[in-house]
Amino acid sequence: MENFRWSFGILFSRLVRLESMDGKVALVPWADMLNHSPEVDAFLDYDKSSQGIVFTTDRSYQPGEQVFISYGKKSSGELLLSYGFVPKEGTNPNDSVEFLVSLNKSDECYKEKLQALKKHGLSESESFPLRVTGWPVELMAYAFLVVSPPEMIQRFEEMAVAASNKGSSKPALNYPELDEQALQFILDCCESSIKKYTKYLEGAKGSAEVSINTKQANRTLLLKQLARDLCISERRILYRSQYILRRRLRDMRAGGELKALSLFNGLRKLFK
């Protein structure tokens, strides 16, 4: 089992996918020395004319400078699982956190909403990727469904369709009357998620080690550090989303108050 684990780790952290050979995978001895950087667009591929593997960089390098390759647009969690490292906090533009949202069990339309979701391959709890740059339209569609009132029952299905549309680029749903509630729902989930991350990080700080030998103790320490690094990176995305959501809601509410005030002033003038 130990040998299998070792081989599996070596293979999957070092294999190269060759696009021009229909995505065939290969182990390329010199190429497996290349480390990952999300900022480069360099790639490896099979070259028919030279019958070898060619490395193409996106810029020139000085002698002695480290040359990087991209392992793909991967989140820090994916990089940890596939390659055993977590990029330094804030350096991975492709980072994302799996954001869990659920239907409210006490919703009077719980059954109807769940039915609409199930019809389109979704369930009462779903996760969507949250990035520093924002959230997907599918998450917004799910949030619309969660907060929509019984009068909108006819719309449940189109909301579920839009929420299930993972990855493709259909236009976002537009329900201005539900915007504020949907954003508040996402903010609430975001804040509860932040609390869980913080609780984990505070707990992880003080946990005592029980180890059989030094090698095992070092390995446990390394794994814990990687888990901490990943949590810190993911919590950073949640903090950023929390900031954006709070600002949007504040602007929305201020806009609403302004409208009400000008309406009130208009009425006052009318009755003067």
Ligand X SMILES: C[S@@+](CC[C@H](N)C(=O)[O-])C[C@H]1O[C@@H](n2cnc3c(N)ncnc32)[C@H](O)[C@@H]1O
- Check residue 46 for interaction with ligand X (CB under 6 A): no
Residues with Cβ within 8 Å of 227's Cβ and at least 6 positions away in sequence, in order, are 204
Shortest Cβ 75–ligand X spacing (Å): 14
Distance separating alpha carbons of residues 83 and 111, to the nearest angstrom = 42
Residues 235, 197: contact at Cβ < 8 Å?
yes
- Check residue 14 for interaction with ligand X (CB under 6 A): yes
Nearer to ligand X by C-beta: 15 or 249? Answer: 15
Which of 17, 36, 246, 248 touches ligand X by CB under 6 A?
Answer: 36
Residues with Cβ within 8 Å of 172's Cβ and at least 6 positions away in sequence, in order, are 137, 140, 141, 162
Nearer to ligand X by C-beta: 17 or 155? Answer: 17
Please identify, among the stretches 22-30, 31-39, 138-146, 247-255, the one whose residues bind ligand X according to the rule CB under 6 A. Answer: 31-39
Nearer to ligand X by C-beta: 64 or 206? Answer: 64
Which of 7, 11, 32, 118 touches ligand X by CB under 6 A?
Answer: 32
Shortest Cβ 20–ligand X spacing (Å): 20
Q: How many CA atoms lie within 13 A of 199 on its CB side?
A: 6
Residue 100: helix, strand or coil by DSSP?
strand
Shortest Cβ 70–ligand X spacing (Å): 10
- Check residue 83 for interaction with ligand X (CB under 6 A): yes
Which of 10, 33, 204, 223 touches ligand X by CB under 6 A?
Answer: 33
Cα–Cα distances (Å) from 226 to 11, 163, 211, in that order, read 21, 32, 18
Please identify, among the stretches 77-85, 153-161, 167-175, 244-252, the one whose residues bind ligand X according to the rule CB under 6 A. Answer: 77-85
- Check residue 43 for interaction with ligand X (CB under 6 A): no
Count of residues that bind ligand X according to CB under 6 A: 10
- Check residue 13 for interaction with ligand X (CB under 6 A): yes
**Residue 114, token pair as written in the block:** 């769940």
Which 84-103 residues touch ligand X, going by CB under 6 A? 84-85
Residues with Cβ within 8 Å of 184's Cβ and at least 6 positions away in sequence, in order, are 147, 249
Nearer to ligand X by C-beta: 90 or 149? Answer: 90
Please identify, among the stretches 78-86, 141-149, 214-222, 240-248, the one whose residues bind ligand X according to the rule CB under 6 A. Answer: 78-86
**Residue 120, token pair as written in the block:** 């389109």
Listing DSSP states for 171-194 in one string gives PPP--HHHHHHHHHHHHHHHHHHH
Residues 141-164: b if buried by 16+ CB within 10 A, e if exposed: bbbbbbbbeeebeebbbebbbbbb
Return residues touching ligand X (CB under 6 A): 13-14, 32-36, 83-85
